[in-house]
Chain A
Amino acid sequence: MAYSEKVVDHYTNPRNVGSMDKNDPHVGTGMVGAPECGDVMKLQIKVDPISGIIEDAKFKTFGCGSAIASSSLATEWLKGKTVDQAMEIKNTEIVNELALPPVKVHCSVLAEDAIKAAITDYKKKAVSTPALV
Chain B
Amino acid sequence: MALLSPPSQMDYYRVLGLDPKLQLDRNELQQLFYQRSRELHPDRFARAEASVRDAALLESSLLNDAYRTLRDPLARAEYVLKQGGFDISLQGTKDVPPELLEEVFELNMALEELKAGDESARPQLTTARDNFEAMLAQSSIELDKLFTAYDAAPGEESLKPIRALLNRRRYIQNLLRDVNGYLSN
Contacts and interface: CB of A to CB of B under 8 A. Distances in A.
Interface stretch (A4-12, A30-38, A65-73, A123-131): A30-38
Nearest to A32: B101
A1 B36 CA distance: 44
B105 A35 contact: no
A62 B98 CA distance: 16
Interface in A1-58: 31-38, 40, 42
B108 A40 contact: yes
Contact of B104 (A37, A40, A60, A109): A40
B19 interface: no
Contacts of B104: 33, 38, 40, 62
Contacts of B100: 33
Interface string A91-128: 00000000000000000010000000000000000000
Contacts of A62: 104-105, 108, 112
A38 B101 contact: no
B88 A35 contact: yes
B98 A31 contact: yes
Given A31-B105, A33-B101, A62-B105, A38 B96 contact: no
B102 interface: yes
B89 A33 contact: no
Contacts of B158: none
Contacts of A36: 88-89, 94, 170
Contact of B101 (A31, A60, A109): A31
Interface string B12-48: 0000000000000000000000000000000000000
Summarize B's interface: helix, strand, loop or mixed. helix
A109 B170 CA distance: 20
Contacts of A32: 96, 101
A105 B72 CA distance: 31
A15 to B, nearest CB: 18
A35 B104 CA distance: 10
Contacts of A60: 105, 109
Contacts of B96: 32-33, 35
A35 B95 CA distance: 9
Contact of A40 (B89, B105, B166, B168): B105
Contacts of B126: none
Nearest to B175: A38
B159 to A, nearest CB: 15
A60 B106 CA distance: 11
Contacts of A33: 94, 96, 100-101, 104, 171
A110 B90 CA distance: 14
Contact of A42 (B89, B105, B173): B105
A31 B104 CA distance: 11
Interface of B: 88-89, 91, 94, 96, 98, 100-102, 104-105, 108-109, 112, 166-168, 170-171, 173-175
The 5 tightest CB contacts between A and B, nearest first, are A38-B174, A35-B167, A62-B108, A35-B170, A31-B101
